[in-house]
Amino acid sequence: MFGFKHENDLVKLLPEVRGKYKCDVPMSKHTWFGVGGPAEVMYFPEDDEDLSVFMKTRPYNLPLCVIGGGSNLLVRDGGIPGVVIKLDSKYYRRCQVDGTIITCGAGMRNSDLRKILLDNALGGLEFLCSIPGHLGGSIKTNAGCYGKETKDVLIKVTVVDEEGSIFDVPAKDLMLGYRCSHFPDDWIITSLTLQAEPQDPAKTNKILNEHKEKRMASQPHNQRTAGSTFKNPEGLRAWELIKKSGCADLVVNGAKVSEKHCNFLINTGNATAHDIETLGETIVKRVKEETSITLEWEVKRIGVSK
């Protein structure tokens, strides 16, 4: 653990901004798993210019981490040293519609797209509405479901880089692949532009409801989970490998494999991040022993152990 009794020591070194700094913030309040130690400092930028000033004038070698809605994130129990950036102001939840082109702040929730599509007689983005979290995170992981991925509808993004420069990047330059991207880690995506298509709201609503029904039938809901834990190996399904390897009933203290979908891990209420990570690593080990296939985590793990 790092010394939070001196929590203001780091803040004194940080640049003056229009956004907000908060010290010793429990990350359990910012992740869907509901676990994790504190962020030493969290920074909530007011807008891109504010973030740019921070990036240009921050202390050299300051540890930085950017989070979105926390839906695909496991923060370890020791917390996160340095500064955690979260795009959570009104500016980062804005949306503009120009015909079939939708530009959104990276802090907007995926689920908020539903109303935008229906109000503007648009479709083609229904799959994104089904993905938990914020739109910015959908880019980093090239999130997808129901036969579509983010890269299929993305036109461009706006980025603030480590030097504080603000610029647009076409989708093709982000090199988005299956549940991954290959752009620099120091790029912070602050907004994204999506290509929708004209569609009768009744049809859009029908598709959205069908997606919801499928999720409710096949995935856990109203539980503390981070969605699919492992990526599907090429040509295979992670859940089938997990089940085949006898891992469908595994439990580690307050962490367990979902009874509804064994590629989902659940915090039953008193799990620690260590419990969840240990459960996941146990699955990786057993699947490797049984099938010779190494599962790759889809959930992002950050922070230090306690």
In this predicted model, what pLDDT tens digit does every residue of 178-209 receive, in sequence order? 777 888 888 999 999 999 999 999 999 999 99
Q: Which residue has the higher pLDDT, 169 or 137?
A: 169
Evaluate if residue 3 carries a pLDDT over 80: no
> Can you read off the two tokens belonging to residue 306?
């306690």
End-to-end CA distance of the chain: 6
In whole angstroms, what is the distance from residue 44 CA to residue 2 CA? Answer: 21
162: number of Cβ within 10 Å: 14
**Residues facing 142 on adjacent strands:** none
For the chain, which domains are there? Answer: 4-86 (3.30.43.10), 94-203 (3.30.465.10), 221-302 (3.90.78.10)
pLDDT tier for residue 5 given thresholds of 50, 70 and 90:
very low
Find the Cα–Cα–Cα–Cα dihedral 271, 273, 279, 283, rounded to 10°.
150
The residue length of the chain stands at 306
Q: Tell me, what's the pLDDT at 6?
A: 46
Q: How does pLDDT run across 142-152, given as a tens digit for each residue?
A: 888 888 999 99
Going by the DSSP 8-state scheme, the letter that residue 150 receives in this structure is: G
> Where do runs of H (alpha helix) occur along 229-272?
238-244
Evaluate if residue 8 carries a pLDDT over 80: no
Identify the helix (H) or strand (E) that includes residue 84. strand 80-86
pLDDT averaged over the chain?
93
Residue 99, SS3 per DSSP: coil
In whole angstroms, what is the distance from residue 210 CA to residue 17 CA? Answer: 45
Evaluate if residue 2 carries a pLDDT over 60: no
- Under a CB-based contact definition with an 8 Å cutoff, are residues 85 and 181 in contact? no
Prediction pTM value? 0.91
List CB contacts of 300: < 8 A, sequence separation 6 or more.
Answer: 72, 73, 74
- Under a CB-based contact definition with an 8 Å cutoff, are residues 118 and 204 in contact? yes
pLDDT tier for residue 7 given thresholds of 50, 70 and 90:
low
pLDDT tier for residue 137 given thresholds of 50, 70 and 90:
confident
Identify the helix (H) or strand (E) that includes residue 140. helix 135-140
292-296 contacts at long range (C-beta below 8 A, 24 or more positions apart): 293/233, 293/236, 293/241, 295/230, 295/231, 295/233, 295/238, 295/241, 295/242, 296/230, 296/231, 296/233
* Type of residue found at 19: G
Q: Tell me, what's the pLDDT at 216?
A: 86
> Can you read off the two tokens belonging to residue 70?
């926390």
- Under a CB-based contact definition with an 8 Å cutoff, are residues 22 and 42 in contact? yes
261: number of Cβ within 10 Å: 19
Q: Which residues are catalytic?
A: 179, 228, 298
Evaluate if residue 4 carries a pLDDT over 80: no
